[in-house]
Amino acid sequence: MAAELVSFEPATGAELWRGAIGDVDGEVAAARGGWATWAARPLTYRIETLRRFANVVRAKYEPFADCIARETGKPLWEARTEIDSVIAKVDISAAAYSERSAQRRLDSPMGSRMALRHKPHGVLAVLGPYNFPAHLPNGHIVPALIAGNAVVFKPSEKTPATGAMLVDCLREAGVPADCIRLVIGGPAEGKVLAAHSGIDGLLFTGSARTGLALNRAFAEKPEKILALEMGGNNPIVVWDTPDLYTAAVLVIQSAFTSAGQRCTAARRLIVDQRLYDPLIAELNKLLTRLIVGEPHAKPQPFMGPVIDNEVADQLTESFLALLMKGGRPIRHLERTIDGRPFLRPGVIDVTDMADRPDMELFGPILQVIRCDDFDAAIAEANNTRYGLSASLISQTPALYDRFWANARAGIVNWNKPTNGASSSAPFGGIGWSGNHRPSAYYAADYCAYPVVSNEADAARASIGIGLADS
């Protein structure tokens, strides 16, 4: 790999940022040298430092949002919501640590006392994705720092400028430089960091393929914490609802917000056969009006480009593959600007496809499946190795009760999109969507480990049974 990494704006192709490839060994060594001093600081000190970080981000609100918008291609309005989430994460993480990792006294017999406390793991590596290059790694970094860990952060090679700006804000707020380290690089640097003997754990957000490889690599390292968030092949089910316009809006918000580049995006629309034609008509009306444009365009676009031309090419090939396997196009995936990764959403009916691929098509492609009864719809929703998010659009509470009880997902919504999860709740899935280490509010669980102590002020002991007479 070249000595520098260069980041280009997806919407224009212009160079945005460049930086030297990082030294993984040096960054891990620095973190190992600094974390113990940070861990020894009082919890209140660490929390107040992170609150200063929130203030630093607040002061840089527009430049930071502009950086995210330019580097990812997402509309400026959406980049601003990402900054809002970065700021809000601090207070949420402080509350979560207090609730889930608090020091407690437990009942203990014979005048002794039982104490429950939590210790940081040490040095945690964070591998960040490109779709939310500030919010998602920040969701690991802030809880890890509050718990007393040092962090070595490698942002996606597609969004290094945002990662560098996030680290600059943390250091400006007073997080010791040795406790928040930045590794610039590509997959090679990520592999070296993940396998490094100097880390005590890895917090990962990204593809199932990479997550599965990491899971195998850590199988013989039970001493290291591994938290995986790996996306989904998420269903949205439309059943027994008279308001098909609203249903269509919820489907579009689920499938195409962030150009479909959300791990919680709806990949599959499962619909009552009787509602199929009128629902598709409403979807088509809205999709015709949907604005796809560059981040700063006026009027503001609903969605921007996907992250780069390579991804756009892969998505185009995937849509063509669905067609070749028997899918019936409802709206073709369209490349709107030659040489740039702008895509108009594609919608394809795959009901009659004999062998539907169970994969996360990370972009604006929605597969539609018609069903004749609700049990078949639930079975189709669960017809995936993933299990992150699922949503039911219906006016019938009894159907939601059945859906909630039977849907295999970590997030099950009713008359809401599949995406837009709150940081004030746990976030994670089952199957190929994660390894039972939910993030967001539950990130505190994997950033520190519990230590139970049975304590007494003086040593007192006797053996009442099993001793021979002296």
Contacts of 253 (CB under 8 A, 6+ apart): 417, 419, 420
Distance CA 404, CA 120 (A): 35
- Report the catalytic residues: 229, 263
Q: What is the pLDDT of residue 152?
A: 98
Question: For residues 158 and 206, is the Cβ–Cβ distance under 8 A?
Answer: no
Contacts of 234 (CB under 8 A, 6+ apart): 254, 264, 265, 266, 267, 268, 386, 388, 389, 390, 391, 409, 418
| Confidence at 102, pLDDT banded by 50, 70, 90 | confident
pLDDT in tens, 379-398: 999 999 999 999 999 999 99
Q: Where are the domains of the chain?
A: 4-230+434-455, 234-414
pLDDT in tens, 170-218: 999 999 999 999 999 999 999 999 999 999 999 999 999 999 999 999 9
Average pLDDT, the chain: 96
Distance CA 305, CA 379 (A): 33
User: Using omega within 30 degrees of 0 as the cis cutoff, is the peptide bond preceding 242 cis?
Assistant: no
Distance in angstroms between the alpha carbons of the first and the last residue of the chain: 76
| Segment among 8-17, 99-108, 293-302, 424-433 with least mean pLDDT | 99-108
CA atoms within 13 A on the CB side of 242: 1
Report DSSP state, residue 301. P
Distance CA 32, CA 27 (A): 9
| Confidence at 113, pLDDT banded by 50, 70, 90 | confident
Question: For residues 444 and 93, is the Cβ–Cβ distance under 8 A?
Answer: yes
Distance CA 8, CA 15 (A): 4
| Segment among 45-59, 110-124, 346-360 with least mean pLDDT | 110-124
Amino acid code (one letter) for 350: V
pLDDT in tens, 438-456: 999 999 999 999 999 988 8
* Whole-prediction pTM: 0.96
Q: Which residues pair with 106 in a beta bridge?
A: 114
Q: What H or E segment, with its residue span, contains residue 84?
A: helix 76-100
Count Cβ atoms below 10 Å from residue 219 Cβ, excluding itself: 9
Closest CA to 9 of 73, 63, 68: 73
| Confidence at 2, pLDDT banded by 50, 70, 90 | low
Give the fold, CATH level 3, of 4-230+434-455.
Answer: Aldehyde Dehydrogenase; Chain A, domain 1 (3.40.605)
Q: What is the pLDDT of residue 327?
A: 97
Per DSSP, the chain holds a count of helices (H) and strands (E) of 14, 21
User: Using omega within 30 degrees of 0 as the cis cutoff, is the peptide bond preceding 299 cis?
Assistant: yes
When computed from its CA atoms, the radius of gyration of the chain, rounded to whole angstroms, is 24
Give the fold, CATH level 3, of 234-414.
Answer: Aldehyde Dehydrogenase; Chain A, domain 2 (3.40.309)
Q: What is the pLDDT of residue 1?
A: 44
Question: For residues 239 and 393, is the Cβ–Cβ distance under 8 A?
Answer: yes
Closest CA to 176 of 65, 73, 46: 46
pLDDT in tens, 22-67: 999 999 999 999 999 999 999 999 999 999 999 999 999 999 999 9
Question: For residues 193 and 205, is the Cβ–Cβ distance under 8 A?
Answer: no
- What is the mean pLDDT of the segment spanning 296-318? 98
Q: What is the pLDDT of residue 111?
A: 67
